[in-house]
Amino acid sequence: MIAISPTTPVLIAGPTASGKSALALHIARSQGGVVVNADALQVYDGWRILTARPDDSELAQAEHALYGHVPYNAPYSTGHWLRDVAPLLVGKRPIIVGGTGLNFMALIQGLADIPSTPPALRTTGNDIPLSTLLQQLDDPTKSRIDINNRMRVQRAWEVLQATGRSMADWQDDTPPPLLQPTDAVRITLDVPVDWLNDRISQRFDQMLEQGAIAEATAMLPTWDPSHQSSKAIGAPALIAHLRGDMTLSAARDAAIIASRQYAKRQRTWFRSKHADWAKLDVSSTDLSTAIAFTP
């Protein structure tokens, strides 16, 4: 049983569609607190449905922060997120939830103050194959990032090109963390793969029913695959469908496959980085018996 006091910050991580937001809302409704987003894509204002941001009903049940507060065409990094989350660590107890492992790592381990890179360099990097970017990175840097995540790999490449120092070198100069890990309850949702894959399929179908195509239609005039918000899973496929390049059935299948692949990378990350976090399988556990709310 995981004991949670009303004054202790709670961190909830896990793969996409694993039930993180539902758990955070359960804790907030039961014991109070602010549900704070730690997902790299839910910060954007463009793709509410596809990024599974809380709907109006959920927002009405508890206070939420850092959801949809960034323009869809703006850059936003872990450093930006840390600056935004810092004031939320005081006052009402934060319940920080998301699937972006790097945000949690930066929060409880610290983040190096790496300079931003020139837009022109980013444009150059966009045209370089992932394998070529990786070849230019040092082994320590490659061991610390998801080498299948192009955004992370390209960011490391840009830092190396712009500063002459590797990402790992910058990280070794990391300042103290904003939140000590022992000062928070840390929970990683660890659910069976088959259960999660079924959930991913069901959730994307629900997104289609809730208006994901209309959302994509609204974003189509300003669509730019280089925007970070355009990495929302399902967005490229739905845009391709709207342009006549893909049937809706094919777009659905592509989105579900991409989501499952992303979930696999997330599970690998959390197994590696969250060995000392409490594990919770919400697929077979009654939250009333798994969570103990203490005075």
Residues 127 and 90 in one domain: no
Number of domains in the chain: 3
pLDDT of residue 286: 85
Q: Is residue 246 part of a domain?
A: yes
**191 phi and psi, to 5 degrees?**
-115, 155
Residues 245 and 286 in one domain: no
Q: Is residue 12 part of a domain?
A: yes
pLDDT above 90 (res 156): yes
Residues 6+ apart with CB under 8 A from 224: 73, 230
pLDDT above 90 (res 1): no
Task: Provide the CB-side half-sphere exposure for 28 (13 A, CA).
Answer: 26
Residues 130 and 158 in one domain: yes
Q: Is residue 11 part of a domain?
A: yes
Cα distance between residue 51 and residue 46, in whole Å: 9
Cα distance between residue 67 and residue 35, in whole Å: 10
174: which 2 tokens? 């990391």
Q: Is residue 270 part of a domain?
A: no
Residues 155 and 202 in one domain: no
What's the pLDDT tens digit per position in 236-256?
999 999 999 999 999 999 999
> Distance of CA 96 to CAs 5, 108, 148, 208, Å?
15, 12, 25, 27
Residues 143 and 99 in one domain: no
Q: Is residue 84 part of a domain?
A: yes
CATH of the domain at 207: 1.10.287.890
Residues 26 and 94 in one domain: yes
| Banded model confidence at residue 289, pLDDT cuts 50, 70, 90 | confident
pLDDT above 90 (res 227): yes
Q: Which whole number is the average pLDDT over 66-90?
A: 95
pLDDT above 90 covers a percentage of the chain that reads: 89
CATH of the domain at 98: 3.40.50.300
What's the pLDDT tens digit per position in 21-62?
999 999 999 999 999 999 999 999 999 999 999 999 999 999
Residues 207 and 232 in one domain: yes
Residues 44 and 188 in one domain: yes
Cα distance between residue 116 and residue 278, in whole Å: 35
Residues 6+ apart with CB under 8 A from 14: 20, 99, 188, 189, 190, 191, 266, 270
Does residue 200 contact residue 260 with C-beta atoms inside 8 Å? yes
Residues 123 and 17 in one domain: no
Residues 55 and 188 in one domain: yes
Task: Provide the CB-side half-sphere exposure for 271 (13 A, CA).
Answer: 8
Q: Is residue 103 part of a domain?
A: yes
Q: Is residue 59 part of a domain?
A: yes
E strand or H helix at 237: helix 235-242
Kindly provide the b/e burial profile for residues 191-201, where b requires at least 16 CB atoms within 10 angstroms of the residue's own CB.
beeeebbebbb
Residues 125 and 249 in one domain: no
Q: Which domain, by its residues, includes 156?
A: 119-171
pLDDT above 90 (res 160): yes
Residues 27 and 162 in one domain: no
pLDDT of residue 288: 78
pLDDT of residue 174: 83
Q: Is residue 271 part of a domain?
A: no
17: which 2 tokens? 């569609």
